Chain A
């Protein structure tokens, strides 16, 4: 039974990672000014929101299943706070979780209405370090980090994220130059 918890910990982690990258890429394409008109169809935003929520959901599932894998020996408090006992390999994952929570939860309509746009936007930008840290976490703790498929897949995800990120940043730079 324990082995299955281990397999599920890994698979939920992988899926959460893919979902995180997908939400990030979707969001970047939404906001990038260089990829066409800023106003995307309604469904694009809806899907982005959904993916964000789904990512957070799978991260929570990943964390809970990792608790059930008693061989790892995590305590509940280890999920909430990086601890030296457990190490930074898992600690980065915990930080990434909190960052994702800060990205997704304020975007829930009720909360978002109370926030100033600037505050919300700043929080939302944390999505980038969140994805980066989860990549570090995946590489450091994933037993799969020793398998070729995994490292190539991870590199691919990184590449997929970097392109729209660069486009967005370049667009920002260009926009600033135009406005100046």
Chain B
């Protein structure tokens, strides 16, 4: 073992460092099977290194967490809500869309069994903690061909990506009744008139055609 000297290269060694080096050298080298002698405990401040720094890091983290949460809470209260646009989905009001096409609503002669005239309609806006979201639904030949999200949540709201996942998820995953092969459909009460073009009537007709009694 070389005797320790007071420099590493050209630089003098920190006395604390020197002390540590002395301790290391003083320890017997480890051999297989020999017990590890515990390092001599340092006394005083050095026994708990960086104690102050650790405590302040912990305190700072905890305080920041709480304060940030409070900041978000306060900011959330200040977000203006846009209120609800009442009206049914056949309301031909076109929103000021920042995205894609807004085909003008055509109220031309529609086939007797088309419920909704072709065009883009404003879905009802939703204003809650998820933000201000307005959906635009495009009908073509009585079918929904596109759903556009006209107004994304902004500012202090859940992420566009999580929300965007929530919105298109429902629409794009709309299940084809034929593929699902359901026996019956639960929905808001249809009248005898709207029954004619409903899914339920298609199912009933299919059952009748199959000769299931009646």
Contact = CB atoms under 8 A, between A and B. Distances in A.
Touch A–B, Cβ below 8 Å: yes
Nearest to B17: A39
Contacts of B57: 19, 22, 47, 50-51, 54
Contacts, number: 100
Given A39-B17, A54-B61, A141-B159, A15 B68 contact: yes
B73 interface: yes
A18 B57 CA distance: 11
B63 to A, nearest CB: 10
A12 interface: yes
Contacts of A165: none
A140 interface: yes
A159 interface: no
A6 B162 CA distance: 13
Interface string B30-74: 000000000000000010011001100110010011111110110
Interface string A1-45: 001101110111011001100100000000000000101011110
Interface residues of B, number: 36
B170 interface: no
B-side interface mostly:
helix
Interface centre among B11, B57, B165, by most chain A C-beta atoms within 10 angstroms, is B57
A86 to B, nearest CB: 9
B161 A147 contact: no
B54 A143 contact: no
